[in-house]
Structure 1
Amino acid sequence: MTQYYAPPGGLPPQTALMTQRAVFTNAYAFIPRGCFSDIVTSFLPGWTHTRLWLIARPMSGFSETFSQYVMEVQPGGGSDAPDAEDGAEHWLFFTDGLATLTIDGTGYELDAGGYAYIPAGSRWTLLAEGKTPARFHWLRKLYEPAPGTPRPEPIVTNERDVPIRFMPDTQDRWGTTRFVEPDDLRHDAHVNIVTFQPGGVIPFEETHVMEHGLYVLEGKAVYKLNQDWVEVEAGDFMWLRAYCPQACYAAGPGRFRYLLYKDVNRHATLRGPGAYRPAR
């Protein structure tokens, strides 16, 4: 049975110790689940009976390409106008509750494990219709069109209907639930689920151009972030800037799983201060 962690909110008692795990560096940020209290929630215009934890946003020295929210929508709440930003594409991943998502006039029911990709320019709405709050991750990015490449279409599925693809020569200990094929160049980012069985490892320091957002859905592990080994557990969030070295060891006792964002399939843009400009 798959279980997904969702922050319960509330406040720690006055007798509690600090988490002592939160870290913000030039290469990565680590937000442990103990930081997800009521006093750091946010609210959005156009959303009713809704609060969220905003855990990543584009800013200098932090996330460059995406924002990520952990949403909590009470029964009967939702939005007919979720996002006013032109050009934004969206990914939703549900961890609890029930909601109706409508994309360009077509309705879909999503519950725990539900996944939706909403292309830029789509008209969409969301209504929480269960007896308990609808809880989901909402990731946003400005879509980067590519010459001669069509725009992607909506995707609505559930992870239980998508097989885990295990890495070769790992004895099925490390795999990815991919909702989009890696060579589908219509997509400029992927939101996947990575699964490690006990004993699974990333056996080298991954160092690459993609930036990452990782929210731990289940289990615990030790994760290498730049030069630091950090203990992580369900409910923790990690942001890794481009080229930040990473590795993982999942010791168990259960499996370790996280929701993973990465930007893909586009040129590195050559603009900004100091960018080369050819003579005319």
Structure 2
Amino acid sequence: MGYPTDLLSSRAVIEPGKYAVIPPEGRVNNVVPGFENCTMTILGSPKLGATFVDYILTFHEGGKNTDGFGGQDNIETFVCVLEGKVKAKADDEEFILESGGYLYCPPSVTMYLENLEDGDSRLFLYKQKHKPLEGKKPWVVSGNTNDLEEVEYEGMHNMRLKDLLPTDIAFDMNFHILTFDPAGSHPFIETHVQQHGAYLLSGEGVYNLDNKWQTVKKEDYIYMAPYCLQATYAVGREPLSYLYSKDCNRDEDL
């Protein structure tokens, strides 16, 4: 909400190093070199406490990234198309990604993106430094979330999970989609060393973050730091679903 039609107010909640809820209202455009004809907002970042960077990106007609994304400094990247159609390249390998389409590039591979729509295409974008494991190397992965198997989570019939990347130990992170039917919830309040960046794809809910209940809905972004207490109830008339990252398959450094 905002001036001149209403009082200045926001649903955003920012607790650096703990958690954040960032709704679409109030987001500002960040200019990132190499990305053309686009509107981009940096969401999760090290300034918030994350070890990764999440973006929400809208390519307008002719939008593209000309300098490449990742492919150096040990940075791995991921993109998921929320709406529209883009051409994605992993070095010389080309993919056409429509709604639900995604691409993961390991740190040795540069990602290029180009909007194929006459109008806008909306994307979720991610990068982080890869934590290598001797003798193991991740590889390029592409698919579409609409084609993935959905399995019950922790025996909960009203809570389902999709894995977007292989569970192979070569990968130090994964992306998942969690979906809750209305009135569905986590089986318990989680407390763990992993951190998450989550983008809500549909529905509404109340999310327990550090034992404080926050209202959330479609297009909100949530950052959850390591050891942040977390769980949700789905409310409303449609399933609550979100795309989120999770670090995995590595020991903790001393």
Deviations 1:107-128 (A, max 9, x none): 1111111111111111332111
Deviations 1:200-246 (A, max 9, x none): 11131100000111111100011100121111101111111100011
Q: Distance in 2 between matches of 1:123 and 1:139?
A: 13
Q: Distance in 2 between matches of 1:129 and 1:266?
A: 38
Name whichever structure is richer in strand by fraction.
Answer: 2
2:101 counterpart (114, 118, 122): 114
Report the secondary structure of 1:33's partner residue: coil
1:52 counterpart (40, 61, 65): 40
Q: Return the offset for 1:33.
A: 2.4
| 1:238 matches 2:222 | yes
Report the secondary structure of 1:250's partner residue: strand
Task: Write the mapping of 1:235-274 to structure 2, written as runs, cut at 5 A.
Answer: 235-270=219-254
- Residue type of the partner of 1:174? M
Q: Counterpart of 1:193? A: 177
Highest Rg: 1 or 2?
Answer: 1
Task: Write the mapping of 1:88-167 to structure 2, written as runs, cut at 5 A.
Answer: 88-149=75-136, 151-167=137-153
Q: Counterpart of 2:161? A: 176
Specify every segment of 5 or more residues in structure 1 that has no aligned partner in the other structure, as ranges: 1-10, 271-280
1:15 counterpart (5, 15, 25): 5
2:24 counterpart (30, 33, 36): 33
Deviations 1:6-39 (A, max 9, x none): xxxxx95511233442111242111122223xxx
1:78 counterpart (48, 61, 64): 64
Is the contact between residue 200 and residue 250 of structure 1 (CA under 8 Å) also seen in structure 2? Answer: yes
| Percent identical residues | 29
Runs ≥4 in structure 1, deviation > 4 angstroms? none
Distance 1:194 1:19, change over 3 A: farther
Q: Distance in 1 between matches of 2:49 and 2:76?
A: 16
After TM superposition, the score normalised by the length of structure 1 is: 0.85
Q: Distance in 1 between matches of 2:98 and 2:3?
A: 32
Report the secondary structure of 2:146's partner residue: helix
User: What RMSD in Å do the two structures reach over aligned CA positions?
Assistant: 1.7
Q: Counterpart of 2:14? A: 24
Specify every segment of 5 or more residues in structure 2 that has no aligned partner in the other structure, as ranges: none
